[in-house]
Amino acid sequence: MDMLQNQFEDPHFWAAVSFVILVLAAYKPLSKIIFKGLDSRSDNIRKELDEAQRLKEEAETFLTSCQRRYKEALDEAAQILAHAKEESARMSEEAHANLEANIQKRLDIATQKISNYETAALQEIRIQSVDLAVSAARKLMMNHLDDKTAHILIEHAIADTKKKLH
C-alpha cells in the first residue's frame, strides 16, 4: 500500500489522471466538432463529386452532340460534293453540246460560203466563156464574112433584140 500511497502523492500521477480526465471531458465536445467538420468536409466532397459527375455528363452530352454535328457536316459535305460533281458533269455535257452545235453552225456557214464562191466562180467562168466565144465569133466573122453578110447578121440581131425587148 505504501506504493499505492506514494503514487497518490506523486505529482506525475495526478498530472496523468488530470490529463485522462481532461481528455475524457473534452472528448465529447471535441468529437462533435471533429465529426461535424468531417461530415461537412464529406458533404463538400460529395457535392464536388456530384458536380463533377454532372459536368462529366454534360461534357459527354456535348461530345455526343458535337460528334453528331460533325457526322452531319461530313454527310452534308459529301452531298455538296456529289451535287457539285453532278452539276459539273451536266455543265460539261451542256458545253460539249453547245460546242458541237457551234461547230456544226460554223461548218454550215463555211459550206454555204464555199457554195456561194463556187456559184460565183461558175458565173464568172460562164461570163468569161461567153465573152471569149463572142470575141472568137467576132474575129471569125471579121475574118471570114464579107460586108454584105455581116450587115444582114447585124440586122437580124437587132431585130431579135427588139423582139425580146417588146
Judge whether 9 lies within some domain.
no
Judge whether 152 lies within some domain.
no
Judge whether 57 lies within some domain.
yes
- Is pTM beyond 0.85? Reply is no
Q: What is the count of structural domains for the chain?
A: 1
First-to-last C-alpha distance (Å) of the chain = 187
Judge whether 83 lies within some domain.
yes
Burial 8-22 (b: 16+ CB within 10 A, else e): eeeeeeeeeeeeeee
Spatial separation of the C-alpha atoms in residues 63 and 57, rounded to whole Å: 10
Instruction: Domain of residue 41: give its range.
Output: 16-122
Nearest Cα residue to 13 out of 23, 3, 25, 28: 3
Judge whether 160 lies within some domain.
no
**What's the chain's average pLDDT?**
87
Judge whether 33 lies within some domain.
yes
Q: What is the CA radius of gyration of the chain?
A: 65
pLDDT, one tens digit per residue, over 1-41 is: 556 566 667 788 889 889 888 888 888 888 888 888 888 89
Spatial separation of the C-alpha atoms in residues 71 and 77, rounded to whole Å: 10
Spatial separation of the C-alpha atoms in residues 160 and 166, rounded to whole Å: 10
Judge whether 65 lies within some domain.
yes
Spatial separation of the C-alpha atoms in residues 26 and 23, rounded to whole Å: 5
